[in-house]
A and B are shown apart, each in its own frame.
Chain A
Amino acid sequence: MMIIVVSLFVLLMLVAAVAALIFKDLMSAVIAACMVSLIASILFYFLQAPDVAMAEASIGAALITAVFIVAIRRTERFEE
């Protein structure tokens, strides 16, 4: 039963990564990458690594997204 939940999370994570690849709007791509980090932190929790899960959730999903959004505001939002 557990393995089905994990597989669904992995699938969702890969879909979000592909979305970060496809989107032309950089802001949407950054939000998709944030979702990748969030689901990765859930997977770290399932792998019995709560320290790493905490670091990934607070750094990967919050701070990296904030840094990217600030950088996009200082440059341009759309690719090409």
Chain B
Amino acid sequence: MRSIISIFLLVVIAWGMITVLQEIPFGSSETRVGQRYIDQGREETGAANIVTSVVLNYRGFDTLGEITVLFVAAIGLGAVLSTNRKKKKREIESASLVLYTGCRFLFPLILLFGAYIFIHGHLTPGGGFQGGAIVASAFVLVYLGCRGRRISETGSKAVESLGGLIFIGIGLAGLAVGGRYFLSNFLPKGELNTLFSAGVIPILYIAIGFKVGSELAGVIDHLIEDSE
């Protein structure tokens, strides 16, 4: 009965969607704001990757809101899962030798790859969010292979707060120096397609990378705690 009602509801929604989709043919996007970003983005921001310049320059204020949402979700998760029971010390079954050695070997390489992704965010595909997620998945690997080893909670909180502070500090500095809007690009743009270009964008992406990485690793850490 329940599934019949659900299917009826979905059919109604699908009919509405199909009616709307007749108006949007595939492969002929006609928004003009995107074309303007593509035409002017290289001169105005100096970043070769237009998606990066949209995320951090034209829509930088949105990104501030987004990392705030991420921060609030991480805090809420910690508050929901915190218990005032004493943590029991239990015997942890250690992983096999192959898994342990493989994790020890791969961990620095994955960290390096994540750092590469978020440092080159303005030149190649990638950026702070993807690089931060890759760094966090390196910590997942550590929880898998080297049981009983934890990241220090104060350290991860400090890195996270520092990333957020750098983001807001650069935004306010842009407001003070550039004088027009939050996060305005006040550093020299440099030459296109070189590592030291695009003004504040690489610094912001490095800050976001550290913040997202430590936040997601902290989320995994909170969830995995005393589940063994």
Contact = CB atoms under 8 A, between A and B. Distances in A.
Q: A–B direct touch, CB within 8 Å, in complex?
A: yes
A75 to B, nearest CB: 10
Interface of B: 49, 51-52, 117, 125-127, 129-130, 133-134, 136-137, 140, 216, 219-220, 223-224, 227
Q: How large is the interface on A (under 10, 10 to 19, 20 to 34, 35 or more residues)?
A: 10 to 19
Nearest to A72: B227
A62 B140 CA distance: 9
Given A54-B130, A66-B137, A71 B223 contact: yes
12 contacts: A50-B125, A51-B51, A51-B52, A51-B125, A51-B130, A54-B130, A55-B130, A62-B133, A62-B140, A63-B133, A63-B140, A63-B216
A6 B130 CA distance: 25
A65 to B, nearest CB: 10
Contacts of B130: 51, 54-55, 58-59
Interface of A: 50-51, 53-55, 58-59, 62-63, 66-67, 70-71, 73-74
Main secondary structure of the interface of A (DSSP, over half): helix
B201 to A, nearest CB: 14
B137 A74 contact: no
A45 to B, nearest CB: 9
A54 B126 contact: yes
Contact of B137 (A54, A63, A73): A63
Contacts of B136: 63
